[in-house]
Amino acid sequence: MIKLRKNIATMPGYVPGYQPEDPAAYIKLNTNENSYPPSPKVIEAIIAEAGEGLKRYPEPASRAAREAAAKLYGFPPEWVIMANGSDEVLNNLIRAFADDGDEIAFVYPSYSYYGTLAEIQGAQVKTFGLTDDWKIKDFPHIYEGRIFFLTNPNAPLGFTFSQTYVEELAGRVSGMLVIDETYADFAGTTSLELVHKYDNVVVTRSFSKSYSLAGMRLGLAIARPQVIAALDKIRDHYNLDRLAQAAAVAALGDQEYLRETVKKIRETRQWFTEQLEKIGYTVIPSHGNYVFATPPDRNGERVYQGLFDRKILVRHFADPNLGHGLRISIGTREEMEKTIAALADIG
């Protein structure tokens, strides 16, 4: 008799965006990956590491990567932890701060995986909606749950909460405020300075989007040393393999490449937004590498299907509050030109 924990048996599990078997057959704009390749220095570093040395375990603390990140962001290395994708550190934050039955919360809509991670842990989940001017609806004077996750810029909608507002929230959360800055490189704004000012603030970053390294699984978190020490106890002791550590150091070391890639994506985002508006779409001004766009007939499903038939993958959420639109990742200019042509054709 197989006896699962009750919450595991009953939870539906997270459904990631569709990953086709032959991604090259599609224009793939459904999971906010980067259409540009990683920095050539990253590929070189991975190749250089891919030798006999792989028979040895990696450096357990990912020391070199932590130091590179600490230097880049202006923190001592004890304030940084490297993660096997930022998803790993989000998971470990819940494990560190929320017991069975404790509550965590996040904004709806944002990254629903926080809810899945909480369910695995047996934590309760609360969500807060949004006001029309992108504030959090009915946020209490003091939120008393263990963690409040704030995705900034917001995904899938693409707007940002202002830094003043984020700072206000830091003072209104009695537990931890985890600011998921997966898309911050595209926004050019960050709440990192709040980690210096407030001991309950954690900022997470991912290498999957801005650094074009979704396939390497790399992320990091910056927080007070006591928080980092707790996360270090929980993580898999060899959480980053040798190739990932080499890739992280090289990626963080090539900020010029990051800047160039981000600049191209921001320019294309601007162009694509204007083109969408010309064909009657409503677009939320985006600070990420994606836009949330609504067709004139507010039938996201129909347009999703039309694009799918033309081998263009975008994200449609079967959700009463999001089903009218589509989240479209910003690829290369050429990919977005083809997407606009397809959308005009679909009508």
Q: Is 219 in the site for ligand PLP (CB under 6 A)?
A: yes
CA distance 328 to 27: 11
Q: Is 200 in the site for ligand PLP (CB under 6 A)?
A: no
Query: Are 183 and 209 contacting, i.e. CB atoms less than 8 angstroms apart?
Result: yes
Interface residue with ligand PLP, options 75, 97, 108, 111 (CB under 6 A): 111
Q: Is 190 in the site for ligand PLP (CB under 6 A)?
A: no
Interface residue with ligand PLP, options 151, 152, 200, 245 (CB under 6 A): 151
CA distance 155 to 286: 10
Query: Are 202 and 222 contacting, i.e. CB atoms less than 8 angstroms apart?
Result: yes
CA distance 312 to 321: 23
Query: Are 121 and 94 contacting, i.e. CB atoms less than 8 angstroms apart?
Result: yes
Sole window of 80-88, 246-254, 294-302, 327-335 interacting with ligand PLP (rule: CB under 6 A): 80-88
Residue placing its CB nearer to ligand PLP in the complex, 151 or 273: 151
First to last CA, the chain: 54
Q: Is 208 in the site for ligand PLP (CB under 6 A)?
A: yes
Q: Is 107 in the site for ligand PLP (CB under 6 A)?
A: no
Reading the block at residue 278, the tokens are: 């010309």
Residue placing its CB nearer to ligand PLP in the complex, 111 or 186: 111
Q: Is 212 in the site for ligand PLP (CB under 6 A)?
A: no
Please state, in angstroms and as integers, the Cα–Cα distance from residue 223 to each residue in 19, 99, 193, 200, following that order: 33, 20, 11, 8
Sole window of 83-91, 93-101, 229-237, 315-323 interacting with ligand PLP (rule: CB under 6 A): 83-91
Q: Minimum distance from CB of 86 to ligand PLP (Å)?
A: 4
Q: Is 210 in the site for ligand PLP (CB under 6 A)?
A: no
DSSP per residue over 144-213, as a string? -SSEEEEESS-TTT-----HHHHHHHHHHBSSEEEEE-TTHHHHT---HHHHHH-TTEEEEEESSSTTS-
Binding-site size for ligand PLP (CB under 6 A) equals: 13
Sole window of 66-74, 82-90, 159-167, 296-304 interacting with ligand PLP (rule: CB under 6 A): 82-90
Binding-site string for ligand PLP from residue 153 to residue 172, where x marks contact by CB under 6 A and - marks none: --x-----------------
Interface residue with ligand PLP, options 87, 119, 185, 335 (CB under 6 A): 87
| Short-list 67, 30, 98, 58, CA closest to 236 | 58
**What residues make contact with ligand PLP under the rule CB under 6 A?**
32, 85-87, 111, 151, 155, 180, 182, 206, 208, 214, 219
